[in-house]
A and B are shown apart, each in its own frame.
Chain A
């Protein structure tokens, strides 16, 4: 079946502009996560959505970052007033509830470059 998809695959933006990154999780997956991976650094957690519960925003680095998930499916990560340190690959993952390992399935990521 279809995996997690993300768009755009690449985004180049000027410092100070706002950007929106989109994630389409696997159909039926109720949990959705955003991570980012900066050059030379590991993956860091940003935010987690589960159903109608309040999202876990504990990983968002600043108030310039926000995310929403509409209808329990598609999610958008928004970065306002982008800075050069925001340049990274932004990864989305989803998982399903009930049984198994709750393993997370990752999308291919969006490579964001802030010039």
Chain B
């Protein structure tokens, strides 16, 4: 799986958009970008995934650059409950493919 690079931590004001960057310059053509988050003392939670088009769901939006070497997860209106570690993972969409977690980004949403 391709390696990802994320900033170790970020702060965001409550109610504002949180933009979490991820670099994955060695991503292969068949690899997707996945985002998970882990709230303190809980298991990781799937957020969103994409291949090359921008994606949006009820939790977040994912913007992938045209060359696919980087992406940004956007939480449009961050709340205190969004404080968590956010993991960007790239992997092929193969059934059973394990997740390889990096250090992630600690997002602190502040009131």
Indicate the size class of the contact surface on chain A. Answer: 20 to 34
Query: Is B102 an interface residue, CB under 8 A from the partner?
Result: yes
Main secondary structure of the interface of B (DSSP, over half): loop
Query: Is A1 an interface residue, CB under 8 A from the partner?
Result: no
A97 to B93 Cα, complex, angstroms: 11
Asked, given contacts A45-B100, A101-B49, whether A31 binds B93 with beta carbons under 8 Å apart, the answer is no
Taking CB atoms and an 8 Å cut-off, the chain B residues in 18-54 that contact chain A are 32, 34, 42-46, 49
Interface segment out of the listed A13-21, A60-68, A69-77, A105-113: A105-113
Min CB distance, A4 to chain B, in Å?
Answer: 8
Min CB distance, A41 to chain B, in Å?
Answer: 9
Interface size of B by CB at 8 A reads 20
Is there contact, CB below 8 Å, between A43 and B46? no
A103 and chain B: residue at smallest CB distance: B46
Chain B residues near A91 (CB-CB < 8 A): 43-44
**B interface residue numbers (CB < 8 A to A):** 32, 34, 42-46, 49, 93-104
Q: List 22 A-B contacts (CB under 8 A).
A: A4-B43, A31-B96, A33-B99, A35-B99, A42-B104, A43-B101, A44-B101, A45-B99, A48-B98, A50-B95, A50-B96, A56-B96, A56-B98, A91-B43, A97-B95, A101-B46, A102-B94, A102-B95, A103-B46, A104-B44, A104-B46, A106-B45
